[in-house]
Structure 1
């Protein structure tokens, strides 16, 4: 069979280009028009997932047992032979006229056949306003990185809209329940109703069409989508509207939560069947369905977890008998009582934070002594919370924890890996490392891997660059065991000012683990060779990101000096240091303006572009602005804890939002030093006007990033 399949592939390759296109050839054309003529694609059978790199004449042979694995082989070739790294900051490249040869056939295989992608939060913190063009690039990224099992949540609100209409809800009532575009993740996770809406009719129309395009492309690659399933969520008024017996929860950060229809309720099966039939009508069936019925549920005493789990599973199986239930391993979930009597193969558990708080059985604050017992699971990397900007990783922990699965009996049912970040388009190095792990059976030294990664990233080997990244790899990218913080060190610029600013968001659990001068030294090393790499897209992106980190870390030191000045009643020093802090903030704003990825205008333009009328554009932009600042209304922002959770250290918002908070705060302290009474600032009153504003922000970069990076960095040493 293998010979026949490969011979067929050779036959196809010999035919005129375009007659029998395959998704890998199409991918190559999107990377670099004409590039597909330089490769031979061979689809071959294999017991385990594999890819091979080979040579035939002047062409590179990409061989594998499915198109995702062949795409993974393409990525491997581009990185480690051609010195080309494709990531979110650049998915196109100019390939050499004559490709570097594969002198000896190279083969990689893995038994970890499932490679998952996305968190529900990713769909809001990063992907809320993506169009087809952006989704097409992401699906290509997934294929290049071996992803074959992504959460496919676009358009789930369309299923709910139709289902609720059939249950007797009016359009107005439905839109009071379904949230706006930037908050759909937390609606889907049973946390809130309606916030950010009501959605216009055009939203549902375009999201349905978008999901159909996404699924078509995924299926062309052989990627298996994970559909959102049904596990009991209902509008909180469904008891009155439909006569259902519901379990209701307390408020979530000031928001009314949806109610919970117990899966053991007689009408659960009826409503689940209605949900799945509507989903099938719109998008077809799937082999995997994602459900987290008790996600961060507080009032769980009344739930029969065993019976609930069986009912949820049975409703899913009635629709798709061979399907698997995908569930997050997060805090108490999946509940041991629910898992106990379900069979192997019924569940696929995402061990959501394996690089920091693994639950599958090795030392961790969330360790489960028996792991996930009989159930299949995936080793996942969370890395980023809220889409916050910052250099961060756990290289040693990631490698140590992953390779402990090789000989631990609790990992007997490990089936693959997962990327479960709350926000993406950041720290490409960590995602590259994670996606290579299934293809590297033996543990390796991070230092050796980093050197090869840097060649792939920049297309050259450079001692200064290696010094900079080794420094980062042993500090910022090596958050140690025992430090359980959620994501990167948060920028001091982005938190509401107080006398004791440390973390910007409520739950980050930040702990200092690196010397703040480390990022400054890494930035200095990168700047020493920056002229040599002008025009190198990956280098310029990383240069801005590393210099940005050094300014943020420097500002934290200056902030602490200013607070010490205030407490010491040193008026002259306070005036100097508080002013330096504000100057650093504006310098950061200018630096970040040189790259589109770090401009708030990219976010707001994405939002406005989806609107079909001025009113719709305004609604989507309001969604975008609120999510990254107050997150909710005054109650949510001041009491609930979500304020600044999704803060962004971006150009535009730094000068127009964060600067105003800090300037007002420093002035109140200066006034106290001058003998005036203390004034309590109403931050929400300062913040809300920005969420309602309509001033335009552009995504187009301004200034030469190398020149500006040099200027702002050098100014640190001239103050």
Structure 2
């Protein structure tokens, strides 16, 4: 039996039930591959490794049984039998499937327990992920290392800050914010992190642990340390020539080895969204040398994995010459670059394949956990094929989104190409829809609905889908549009409706009809898709209604009641639909956070973190990070967001006469944010009619509200 067979048997039972009827065997072959046959109700999967075996199982389910396993598939699958099939084979196109972004550990999974992690690791294996970022529990390694370096535990926990912000601490963006870190959290996540790593390794994955990048507690910052800023936060970094730099790096790595073991991959981002504190071209190279020295002092086989985001985010600083000098200080076998926004701003093309360093082509798409479905899937196959045909092709493909469990078709299109090229995205989308819901009478209608999505929200060709890509509903209200007659607002609103609205409306209509005819599908993926598409349509309705209210008010010189009322009513109506699906409720998010509390002090920190990161992010006075997450969630849409626009509407008459009203609005918004952080959202409505009925109500009321 191969060493990964036990893990795969467990996966098969979770996907197919206790009588899975699947047998796994080793497959001697070059490269990562699988093959399978099925006869007499038994599926036999041979594979070179555990992840390839999982991909083979998923390929059988998808191509033979017509069922796929997505983030929201109800498990175990209700397959009556395992159909026979002649031998089929698969060979991976690349060595690695990469997964996650440091931000994901804040925007999606900070409050997960083992049940959520087990389900996610299964998804990873089935979709070919071999190299996941693994940051859960890293705070335990930092606590161990810094106490060994002489700091007391309370000081270290204060430095680490709130649990919801830990990933930004690991990237060196902030410290000591929204904390302190509860002691029980550290131990609980040490145990959870070890369990996550054990399961990932059981599948044959090679997890990537965090690395030290020079960011230290103020108490350890010597005379040569330098302060730097990010989004209003100040942190301290050691000079790379300071002997403490590699010493601390080695101590942290040794702590990881002791607590979690290692697969010799370490993710570190010493610059991320901060320019190097020294503009001299040699400085980044010195940081690279010190970072590697610290890693290798504890693990001689260490390989540094670094996101290429700084080269994009500060492209004017990171010239080709500077990048080449930096990368030249690192042996090729000691680094892997993650080109994490390659679907829009590929750095591999600009930087000539990263000077021969191994690199990963990754899609980002989602920023902060935005709930709007959007993307340009048609471009993905050509982009990936171009990269694979380059002189220095990527060693892997992957996903580096800031939050998961959104836009499933887009992200599965990427993971499918780890193993198979995709020629016709339309045909791929048809197959995706059929397998997502399973075979049945509903197949044709839902396939047509997905073609409509491909012709609307998923037809964002050439658009920059970035943090600024959002509508008015989740944006911070402002009176600025009154000053230019809503010219800029009109351009923004029209820019967000780049597709024929009736195409989206028809797709929504088909999904609603399917939910009414086949209610058994609603608890699974259909319910998720129904909400996503409802958000897509209603967000654009809110944009249009807001524009109408602003335009008429500016023309009349006074606030127009009917238009404002119509705009605000959208929030209340959408809130009801969102409350019908648990993952679209703020209450679920906060309950997850509080599940880790062991006392009153813990509850206060965890509650604050859960509320803060998806609203004001940092301070209530309003910053560039305000509303970054922009989530259409029940508890936010009909409460927090609606209340802010109500405050805006209440001051609209005054703002038309006095431009200084903007400052008064800012103060009212600050007070509303403080109230939300203190009191949270109102409970959901008690008279909800169910997701299909609430969706039908929205469709009837607003289905013709967008221009044809």
TM-score (norm 1): 0.89
Question: What secondary structure sits across from 1:378 in the alignment?
Answer: strand
Q: How does 1:29-48 map to 2 (within 5 A)?
A: 29-36=13-20, 38-48=21-31
The 1:676–1:206 alpha-carbon spacing in structure 2 relative to 1, beyond 3 Å, is closer
Deviation at 1:26, TM superposition (A): 0.7
Deviations 1:407-444 (A, max 9, x none): 22142xx2111210111111111121111002114x41
Q: How does 1:45-444 map to 2 (within 5 A)?
A: 45-90=28-73, 92-102=75-85, 104-239=86-221, 243=222, 245-249=224-228, 251-257=229-235, 259-298=236-275, 299-302=277-280, 304-332=283-311, 335-361=323-349, 367-368=350-351, 370-411=352-393, 414-441=394-421, 443-444=422-423
CA distance in 1 between counterparts of 2:33 and 2:685 reads 40
Q: Is 1:580 the counterpart of 2:566 in the alignment?
A: yes
For this pair of structures, how many residues does the alignment match? 680
CA distance in 1 between counterparts of 2:69 and 2:138 reads 30
Question: What secondary structure sits across from 1:584 in the alignment?
Answer: helix
> Which structure 2 segments of 5+ residues have no match?
313-317
Question: What secondary structure sits across from 1:417 in the alignment?
Answer: strand
What residue number does 2:315 align with?
none
Deviation at 1:488, TM superposition (A): 9.1
What residue number does 1:561 align with?
548
Deviation at 1:585, TM superposition (A): 0.9
Q: Are the counterparts in 2 of residues 388 and 488 from structure 1 also a CA contact under 8 Å?
A: no
Deviations 1:689-714 (A, max 9, x none): 10111567589995421111111110
What residue number does 1:620 align with?
606
Q: Are the counterparts in 1 of residues 434 and 447 from structure 2 also a CA contact under 8 Å?
A: no
Question: What secondary structure sits across from 1:494 in the alignment?
Answer: coil
Deviation at 1:659, TM superposition (A): 1.0
When structure 1 is superposed on structure 2, of 343-352 and 469-478 the one drifting more is 469-478
Deviations 1:198-225 (A, max 9, x none): 1121111101111111111112111111
The 1:422–1:88 alpha-carbon spacing in structure 2 relative to 1, beyond 3 Å, is same
What residue number does 1:485 align with?
465
The 1:40–1:684 alpha-carbon spacing in structure 2 relative to 1, beyond 3 Å, is same
CA distance in 1 between counterparts of 2:16 and 2:563 reads 50
Q: Is 1:22 the counterpart of 2:1 in the alignment?
A: no
Q: Is 1:548 the counterpart of 2:526 in the alignment?
A: no
CA distance in 1 between counterparts of 2:487 and 2:508 reads 23
Deviation at 1:618, TM superposition (A): 2.7
The 1:543–1:694 alpha-carbon spacing in structure 2 relative to 1, beyond 3 Å, is closer
Q: Are the counterparts in 1 of residues 230 and 274 from structure 2 also a CA contact under 8 Å?
A: no
CA distance in 2 between counterparts of 1:93 and 1:700 reads 31
Deviations 1:36-61 (A, max 9, x none): 2x222222122111122312322122
Deviations 1:157-207 (A, max 9, x none): 111112222222223322331121111111111111111101121111101
When structure 1 is superposed on structure 2, of 116-125 and 177-186 the one drifting more is 177-186
The 1:718–1:324 alpha-carbon spacing in structure 2 relative to 1, beyond 3 Å, is closer
The 1:502–1:236 alpha-carbon spacing in structure 2 relative to 1, beyond 3 Å, is farther
The 1:113–1:698 alpha-carbon spacing in structure 2 relative to 1, beyond 3 Å, is farther
Deviations 1:110-167 (A, max 9, x none): 2411111110000001111111111111111111111111111111111111222222
TM-score (norm 2): 0.90
CA distance in 2 between counterparts of 1:25 and 1:503 reads 57
The 1:675–1:207 alpha-carbon spacing in structure 2 relative to 1, beyond 3 Å, is closer
Deviations 1:549-579 (A, max 9, x none): 111111111111111111111869x322211
Q: Is 1:458 the counterpart of 2:437 in the alignment?
A: yes
Question: What secondary structure sits across from 1:42 in the alignment?
Answer: strand
CA distance in 2 between counterparts of 1:268 and 1:672 reads 54
CA distance in 1 between counterparts of 2:297 and 2:22 reads 44
Deviation at 1:465, TM superposition (A): 2.2
The 1:405–1:676 alpha-carbon spacing in structure 2 relative to 1, beyond 3 Å, is closer
Deviations 1:333-388 (A, max 9, x none): 78321212433221111011111111111xxxxx22x2312110111010100111
Deviation at 1:466, TM superposition (A): 2.5
What residue number does 1:5 align with?
none
Q: Are the counterparts in 2 of residues 35 and 95 from structure 1 also a CA contact under 8 Å?
A: no
Question: What secondary structure sits across from 2:651 in the alignment?
Answer: helix
Question: What secondary structure sits across from 2:418 in the alignment?
Answer: helix
CA distance in 1 between counterparts of 2:651 and 2:511 reads 39
When structure 1 is superposed on structure 2, of 327-336 and 279-288 the one drifting more is 327-336
Q: Are the counterparts in 2 of residues 178 and 194 from structure 1 also a CA contact under 8 Å?
A: yes
RMSD: 2.8
Deviation at 1:471, TM superposition (A): 2.3
CA distance in 2 between counterparts of 1:548 and 1:691 reads 25
The 1:186–1:675 alpha-carbon spacing in structure 2 relative to 1, beyond 3 Å, is closer
What residue number does 1:689 align with?
675
Question: What secondary structure sits across from 1:256 in the alignment?
Answer: strand
